[in-house]
Amino acid sequence: MDELLKSVFADRDVRYIPAVRENAALGIASGACLAGERSAIFIQNSGLGNIINALTSFNLLYKIPVLMFITWRGYRGKDAPEHRIMGKKTPAMLRLLNIPAVILSREYEKDILRAVGTMERKSIPVAVIIKDGLIK
Amino acid sequence: MNRKEAIGTALKSLDEEDIALFTTGMISREAFNIADRKANFYMLGSMGLVSSVGLGIALNTTKRVVVFDGDGSILMDMGTMALTACLRPVNLIHIVFDNESYQSTGGQPSAAAYTDLSEVSRASGYRFTHKITGDGVGENEMKRIFEKTGPVFVLFKVDKESNGHIGRVTLEPKHLKERIRKAICRG
């Protein structure tokens, strides 16, 4: 993730905002979208738990698209104990909310373009899930 | 000052082009019923989120963005005040109507009785902070405050009493989104 972030923020057309929590990140990204910009947030799956209400009562309700890069802590149980439950439940939680999710493969550029396509077609948030060690 | 009067004064002080956002619950309902306008956006849910959405808009437009927030709502996401100060949007006015209670859910007391939110905004680093108590403020003074370089924070101490029944926002979410997009991108 840190490598991905470095390359994203090296782009002069991208503005980085040090959001204080996931709610703020989603809210600011959504505001940017209302002002005609494309936006993305970068969070851990633990933070997905923090934004369920904003997703259901704001982004899904008003149909405000935001690309959500989510790192998959606790994937296959191999992580610190606090990530075990969310690690197991992350894809199911997104499915339950009907939020489309793409799990990044080695061909991640193609995957991200697919996620952006879905997001623009449906005008709702789309998750891009990143497993540890994928991007070097 | 009662909340309806306070919201009414702030609404009257807006220029036609100003983008105004309202937190969920009574503040949205009050504004919708006093003076709905095309550049108004009501948060139907997501209490606490309006300050972040307003910040995201303000950073991406040259228009003035006025956020109508409540004490309960800003207390939920007080970290956004630090972020607002840090990003310094010159066109952002953040008004908090503070009745020290959660009136939309029956008037339970909030923590704002013990915390002066205007002092929080000052300590966070907003460029201009103003606190309105007692009989309130006139339209001209309000307009002068709106002309300050942002981020501006205005704390309106308002009465706890409810104003009786206030109708819900009857506009569809999709319509609200489309009209605010148009209002932001117009001109």
Cα–Cα distance measured from residue A126 to residue B66, given in angstroms and rounded to the nearest whole number: 29
Among chain B residues, the shortest Cα distance to A51 is held by: B46
Among chain A residues, the shortest Cα distance to B176 is held by: A62
Residues B80 and B53 sit within 8 Å (Cβ to Cβ): no
B56 and chain A in contact, CB less than 8 A:
yes
Give the model's pLDDT for residue B24.
Answer: 96
Residues B64 and B28 sit within 8 Å (Cβ to Cβ): no
Q: Which residues of B touch A26 (CB under 8 A)?
A: 49, 52
Grade residue B186 by pLDDT with cuts at 50, 70 and 90.
Answer: confident
- Chain-centroid distance of CA B124 in Å reads 18
C-beta atoms of A23 and B48 within 8 A? yes
Grade residue A132 by pLDDT with cuts at 50, 70 and 90.
Answer: confident
B77 and chain A in contact, CB less than 8 A:
yes
B33 and chain A in contact, CB less than 8 A:
no
Grade residue A12 by pLDDT with cuts at 50, 70 and 90.
Answer: confident
C-beta atoms of B52 and A37 within 8 A? no
Specify the 3-state DSSP secondary structure of B93: strand
Question: Helices B79-87 and A22-34: crossing angle, nearest 10°?
Answer: 50
Whether residue B33 has pLDDT greater than 70: yes
Among chain A residues, the shortest Cα distance to B177 is held by: A62
- First-to-last C-alpha distance (Å) of chain A: 9
Specify the 3-state DSSP secondary structure of B127: coil
Grade residue B137 by pLDDT with cuts at 50, 70 and 90.
Answer: confident
Whether residue A135 has pLDDT greater than 80: no
Whether residue A136 has pLDDT greater than 60: no
Cα–Cα distance measured from residue A47 to residue A49, given in angstroms and rounded to the nearest whole number: 5
A52 and chain B in contact, CB less than 8 A:
no
Q: Which residues of B touch A54 (CB under 8 A)?
A: 46, 49
Task: Read off the pLDDT of residues B98-117 as tens digits, 9 standing for 90 and up.
Answer: 999 998 888 899 999 999 99
Amino acid at A115: A
Task: Enter the pTM of the model.
Answer: 0.95
Mean pLDDT of all residues belonging to chain B: 95
Q: What is the mean pLDDT of residues B39-57?
A: 97
Among chain B residues, the shortest Cα distance to A64 is held by: B177
A133/A105: higher pLDDT: A105
Handedness of CA B48, B51, B55, B61 (dihedral sign): positive
Cα–Cα distance measured from residue A28 to residue A41, given in angstroms and rounded to the nearest whole number: 9
C-beta atoms of A30 and B56 within 8 A? yes
Mean pLDDT of all residues belonging to chain A: 93
With the CA atoms of A37, A43, A48 and A50 taken in that order, what torsion angle do they form, in degrees rounded to the nearest 10? -90
